[in-house]
Amino acid sequence: MTDQAFSDRRRAWLLALVASGAFGVAGMSGLIRRVNAAANRPYPDGVQEVKGEVRINDTLAKPGALVSPGDVVTTGPMSHVVFVIGEDAFLLRERSRLQVSGEKASTAASGQTKSAVVRSLNLLSGKLLSAFSKGEKRVSTPTVTVGIRGTGVYIEAEPTRSYVCTCYGETVLEAKSSGATEKIRTTYHDAPRYVYGAGAPETITKAPMVNHSDDELIMLEALLGRSPPFAGIIERRY
């Protein structure tokens, strides 16, 4: 595909975000315009969209603020934040708490800057949609550890149950209470799962596709100058 064709298709995806109302047109219009203007260029690290009460550690988050390995991001009621770290992008929904681990950004003696790299995330509570680059990473919740290998994934964390949708790519789920594992490889939300804590008769079970959309995944990938693998191939249903 030519750069122009990619850019045209990307603009069409972004316009679909407006129609979807995923965040509300007013709340997302500025972000959509900025991503559209960037054509197929990736965005710099930092907060791209913030609504409501969002904190990075103890500081209220503002657009452009960096989220770095070692930070804790929290969201209040009716709040969300969209942010980029290196080659990964995230949408953290309301009432969530997320710990980030990895390699911090650095500057070599030559003056060349190296972006931060996410190695693992601990979703203590709440809801997280992620678009990950290639490479092995990990997301942990109270009930499951999710091995990531270049994946779009949506996770909800509760004290006794987690929800994991491998939207595309490959994951390995490991239930913390039982040690049961399942390797999942999907192209389009093919195998959502609930993962339960101790005392459940089964710790990994089938689940429906809930609470996230293709438009949101398109937006996250667009922030990185990429497109999800289902774009232009699969008739979208979500």
- Per the listing, tokens 């999942």 go with 184
Three-state SS at 190: coil
- Per the listing, tokens 């990075």 go with 56
Q: For helices 3-20 and 25-37, give the axis angle rounded to 10 degrees.
A: 180
pLDDT value at residue 128: 98
| pTM as predicted | 0.85
pLDDT value at residue 40: 57
Secondary element (H or E) of residue 49: strand 46-51
CATH number belonging to the domain at 48-107+116-213, selected among 2.30.110.10, 3.30.230.10, 2.60.120.1440, 3.40.50.1820: 2.60.120.1440
CA 211-213-217 angle, to 5 degrees, is 125
pLDDT tens digit at each of 238 positions of the chain? 444 444 454 455 454 444 444 444 334 445 555 555 555 556 789 999 999 999 999 999 999 999 999 999 999 999 999 999 999 999 999 999 999 999 998 876 676 778 899 999 999 999 999 999 999 999 999 999 999 988 999 999 999 999 999 999 999 999 999 999 999 999 999 999 999 999 999 999 999 999 999 989 988 998 998 889 987 776 778 8
Query: Is the CB of residue 182 less than 8 Å from the CB of residue 171?
Result: no
pLDDT value at residue 122: 98
Centre a 10 Å sphere on the Cβ of residue 18 and count the other Cβ atoms it contains. Answer: 15
pLDDT value at residue 227: 87
Query: Is the CB of residue 40 less than 8 Å from the CB of residue 11?
Result: no
Query: Is the CB of residue 212 less than 8 Å from the CB of residue 167?
Result: yes
Q: For helices 214-223 and 25-37, give the axis angle rounded to 10 degrees.
A: 40
Secondary element (H or E) of residue 20: helix 3-20
Phi-psi region of 114 (alpha: psi -120 to 50; beta: other; left: phi over 0): beta
Query: Is the CB of residue 117 less than 8 Å from the CB of residue 149?
Result: no
Alpha-carbon distance of 114 to 66, in angstroms, equals 14
Alpha-carbon distance of 146 to 174, in angstroms, equals 7
Write down the domain spans for the chain.
48-107+116-213
Long-range contacts of residues 145-149, Cβ cutoff 8 Å, at least 24 apart: 145/173, 145/174, 145/176, 146/171, 146/172, 146/173, 146/174, 147/171, 147/172, 147/173, 147/174
